[in-house]
Each structure stands twice: as structure tokens, then as C-alpha cells.
């Protein structure tokens, strides 16, 4: 099969890779319908994380082509959505709602889903079948559910978004934008998007943002406070992963409010005294996307949400290198690869 390999920072190639096979009886193999490039794939691309002839990709939707002997809930031909960690969905941690921390989790990144086929361990606990074969125009949204929507949704849930609440969203990438969509669906009264880019502001408004704040740092915090009677937002989503974004998020939240943080932390350090006296709640981490997939798939199936519009560039898998370049150079927010 064909698949993406990152040889080294900046060096992405599409090559022949061995076809995946069933290794464990709990595995499935899927034929990808679409895959995509993640903001987190840019870290190794830019040399900020080690990479050496590494298969890439951890977002995926597709059709089951083979199942292991122990797979009970899926059959060949099912159209499925999964997430970036596999999970058994039966352990105590999964049952408590945290499949991304499942005691038997495996990272899908290891399989590399920017490819024609992929092996999915823990298939029963990981893959969720759609109600039928999806119309082609639903595929981008189903693919978004695999990571950016699931992650933005978790951020909103972690930030305790709900009716009557004012939500601020730090980060206008695909995850932040999906966080806005989630906040709207979860009933937020007011949604403040922090963004300086006209195209992303437009998408933020389409997804439900009621206010746009272009200021950053101290000025951004002051602006959010100004919009919230001096108190700060009830709920703040942090979808970047930098020190500035985390500081901004904590300090834009009112005492007793909630920060949901899903930006993968890079060199972030949280001042204990500042956090103590802020009185905020802090929760985040790798999103337990599997928890939300049944609900998200149904919302997409019923055409109530259209997160797939976060993909602003679609390329064939063979052109993956151009997709990486486009995201690196910020010519694209999120690139979908057709398979």
C-alpha cells in the first residue's frame, strides 16, 4: 500500500509500505476513506520533536476490511470512525469516561493512518460504526470527529460549558474552532473567540462565536474581563499548548470557573501560587474522544453540525508533502487527504 513517511524534519514522502495485517485477535484492518494532517504533525516537521523515517497520521475514517477472531461488535464492510488512542472501552478508566487513558491503550500514531490501510488494535473498544455508508459530503465531518472535533468537544466539556455561561476560546486552529462549535451545541450563552485572522474569525462566527477578541496577552485578558462585568469568563478553552496561551486561559477565567486545556503542552509551566489564588478549575489532556464519538457521529449524520468545513485544503494522499508545506506555511488550517 501507499503511505506517508516522514524521513526527517521537513522531508515528507509517500512510499510503498507493507500492507497491515491482523496481529492480535482484537485487531481490525480498515481501508481509509480519508485521513488528514494534524497540527501536532508539525512539531516533528519543524524539528521540535524527534522523527526518523516515521509513518505518520493518527486521524482516520474508513471501511473495515478484516477483523481478528476476537472482534465481536464489528463486521467487514462497516464504515467506522476511531481516535488517536485505541482503548478497550471496558477497563475502569474507560468506564469512568477516559478511554484516552485506557489501561490497554495504544497510540494509533504508531500505525500511521496517512495511508491506504491501517491496523486498529482494540477494535471493539476503539471503532464506532456509522449508521450506514455515509454520503461523500459527510466524510470530512466524520474525519473531524476522529480528532479535532472530539478534542474541541472535550475541551468544552472539561471547561464545563453549558447554558447561561460565557465561554472564551484561546486558539483559532481547527481544535479551537471545533471548541466553539461544541460550546454552541452545549448551550453557551456567549462565545468569545480570540483570533486575529479574518478567515478564522468568519468560521468562528459560523460555528457560533458571538464576540471576537483580537488582543492578546494582558490586553486580551483585559478585553475578556471587560466583556464579562470584570469577572472573567465562566469557561475557557485553551487549544494551543504554549505558555502564553495557558496563562491567558487561566487569567481570563473567573474564580470558580473552569479551564479546559487540550493544546499539547510544550514547555508550559504553571505557577502554583497564581493558580492557587485564581480559584479556577483546570482539566485537560489527550481528549477521550471515544466517549463522545457516538453522539458526535449522530449529530453529523443528522446534519446538525458540519465540523468538516475546518478542512480548507483537500489533496490526494500522494500529495501529502504539499499538504504539510501548506500547513507549515499557514496557507491551510487543516488538510484532508483523500485515499
28 binds its own copies (CB under 8 A): no
For residues 237 and 169, give the distance between their C-alpha atoms in angstroms, rounded to a whole number.
5
Kindly tell me which of 145 and 245 has the beta carbon lying closer to its own copies.
245
Find the shortest distance in angstroms from Cβ 80 to its own copies: 25
Residues 211-230 that bind its own copies (CB under 8 A): 229-230
For residues 80 and 64, give the distance between their C-alpha atoms in angstroms, rounded to a whole number.
7
162 binds its own copies (CB under 8 A): no
Helices 243-251/217-227 angle, 10° precision: 30
Quick one: cell of 113?
493512518
202 binds its own copies (CB under 8 A): no
* Stretch in the footprint of its own copies (CB under 8 A) among 115-123, 194-202, 216-224, 251-259: 251-259
Q: Which x/- pattern, by CB under 8 A, does the window 72-101 give for its own copies? A: --------------------xx--xxx-xx
* Stretch in the footprint of its own copies (CB under 8 A) among 17-25, 112-120, 128-136, 248-256: 248-256
Quick one: cell of 246?
495557558
132 binds its own copies (CB under 8 A): no
CA distances in angstroms from 35 to 43, 57, 276, listed in the order given? 18, 8, 42
Total residues contacting its own copies by CB under 8 A comes to 40
Residues 294-323 that bind its own copies (CB under 8 A): none
For residues 317 and 117, give the distance between their C-alpha atoms in angstroms, rounded to a whole number.
12
SS3 state of residue 180 = helix
Assess contact for 151 and 175: CB atoms under 8 A. yes
For residues 150 and 291, give the distance between their C-alpha atoms in angstroms, rounded to a whole number.
9
Kindly tell me which of 140 and 260 has the beta carbon lying closer to its own copies.
260
Assess contact for 205 and 259: CB atoms under 8 A. no
Q: Which x/- pattern, by CB under 8 A, does the window 257-296 give for its own copies? A: ----x--xxxxxxxxxx-xxxxxxxxxxxx-x--------
Kindly tell me which of 221 and 246 has the beta carbon lying closer to its own copies.
246
Assess contact for 159 and 236: CB atoms under 8 A. yes
Q: Which residues would be at the binding site for its own copies (CB under 8 A)? A: 92-93, 96-98, 100-101, 103, 229-231, 243, 246, 254-256, 261, 264-273, 275-286, 288
Amino acid at each position: 500500500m501507499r503511505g506517508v513517511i516522514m524521513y526527517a524534519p521537513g522531508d515528507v514522502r509517500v512510499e510503498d509500505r507493507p500492507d497491515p495485517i491482523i496481529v492480535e485477535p482484537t485487531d481490525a484492518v480498515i481501508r481509509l476513506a480519508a485521513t488528514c494532517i494534524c497540527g501536532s504533525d508539525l512539531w516533528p516537521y519543524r524539528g521540535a520533536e524527534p522523527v526518523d523515517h516515521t509513518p505518520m497520521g493518527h486521524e482516520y475514517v474508513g471501511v473495515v476490511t478484516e477483523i481478528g477472531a476476537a472482534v465481536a461488535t464489528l463486521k467487514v464492510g462497516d464504515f467506522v470512525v476511531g481516535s488517536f488512542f485505541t482503548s478497550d472501552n471496558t477497563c475502569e478508566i474507560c468506564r469512568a469516561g477516559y478511554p484516552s487513558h485506557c489501561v490497554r491503550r495504544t497510540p494509533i500514531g504508531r500505525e500511521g493512518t496517512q495511508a491506504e490501510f491501517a491496523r486498529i488494535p482494540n477494535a471493539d473498544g476503539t471503532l464506532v460504526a456509522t449508521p450506514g455508508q455515509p454520503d461523500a459530503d459527510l466524510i470530512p465531518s466524520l474525519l473531524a470527529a476522529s480528532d479535532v472535533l472530539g478534542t474541541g468537544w472535550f475541551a468544552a466539556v472539561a471547561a464545563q460549558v453549558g447554558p447561561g455561561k460565557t465561554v472564551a476560546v484561546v486558539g483559532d486552529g481547527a481544535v479551537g474552532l471545533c471548541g466553539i462549535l461544541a460550546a454552541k451545541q452545549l448551550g453557551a450563552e456567549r462565545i468569545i473567540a480570540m483570533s486575529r485572522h479574518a478567515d478564522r474569525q468568519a468560521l468562528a462566527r459560523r460555528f457560533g462565536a458571538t464576540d471576537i477578541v483580537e488582543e492578546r496577552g494582558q490586553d486580551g485578558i483585559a478585553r475578556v474581563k471587560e466583556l464579562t462585568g470584570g469577572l472573567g469568563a465562566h469557561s475557557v478553552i485553551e487549544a494551543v499548548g504554549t505558555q502564553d496561551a495557558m496563562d491567558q486561559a487561566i487569567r481570563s477565567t473567573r474564580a470558580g470557573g473552569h479551564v479546559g486545556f487540550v493544546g499539547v503542552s510544550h514547555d508550559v509551566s504553571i505557577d502554583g501560587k497564581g493558580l492557587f489564588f485564581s480559584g479556577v478549575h483546570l482539566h485537560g489532556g489527550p481528549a477521550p474522544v471515544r466517549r463522545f464519538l457516538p453522539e458526535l457521529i449522530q449529530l453529523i449524520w443528522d446534519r446538525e453540525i458540519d465540523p468538516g468545513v475546518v478542512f480548507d485544503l483537500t489533496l490526494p494522499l500522494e500529495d501529502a508533502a504539499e499538504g504539510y508545506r501548506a500547513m507549515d506555511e499557514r496557507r491551510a488550517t487543516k488538510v484532508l487527504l483523500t485515499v
